[in-house]
C-alpha cells in the first residue's frame, strides 16, 4: 500500500541513526483545516462495492476486507451483490 522511496526515507528516520532525518505521522483529524464531520462523512462514503467473485476475497488486502465487512458485504449471502451507500 503506497510504499515507495518516501516510505523508505520515513522508515530510515524512525531508526534514529541519522539526526538529520526526522519522521512524523499525522492523521486527517490532526489537520486544523478539515472538520471532523467531513472526514467521517468521507469515510462513510468511501466504500462502494463492485460485484466481487468469492475467489478474489483472499487476495484483498485486510483493509479492503475490513471495509467491505463494515458496510455489510457478505459473500455467503450473495457472491456478486452490488452494494451502494
Tell me: pLDDT of 83 over 60: no
Confidence bin at 85 (pLDDT 50/70/90): very low
Domain residue ranges of the chain, discontinuous segments joined by +: 1-46, 47-85
Provide CB contacts within 8 A for 46, sequence distance 6+.
67
Residue 59 CA to residue 65 CA, distance in Å, equals 10
Average pLDDT over residues 25-50: 82
Model confidence, pTM: 0.40
Residue 62 CA to residue 17 CA, distance in Å, equals 32
Q: What is the pLDDT of residue 81?
A: 46
Amino acid at each position: 500500500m503506497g510504499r515507495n522511496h518516501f516510505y523508505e526515507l520515513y522508515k530510515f528516520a524512525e531508526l534514529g541513526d541519522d539526526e538529520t532525518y526526522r519522521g512524523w505521522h499525522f492523521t486527517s483529524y490532526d489537520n486544523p483545516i478539515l472538520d471532523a464531520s467531513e472526514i467521517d462523512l468521507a469515510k462513510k462514503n468511501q466504500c462502494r462495492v463492485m460485484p466481487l467473485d468469492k475467489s478474489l476475497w483472499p487476495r484483498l488486502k485486510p483493509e479492503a476486507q475490513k471495509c467491505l465487512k463494515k458496510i455489510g458485504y457478505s459473500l455467503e449471502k450473495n457472491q456478486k451483490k452490488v452494494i451502494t451507500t
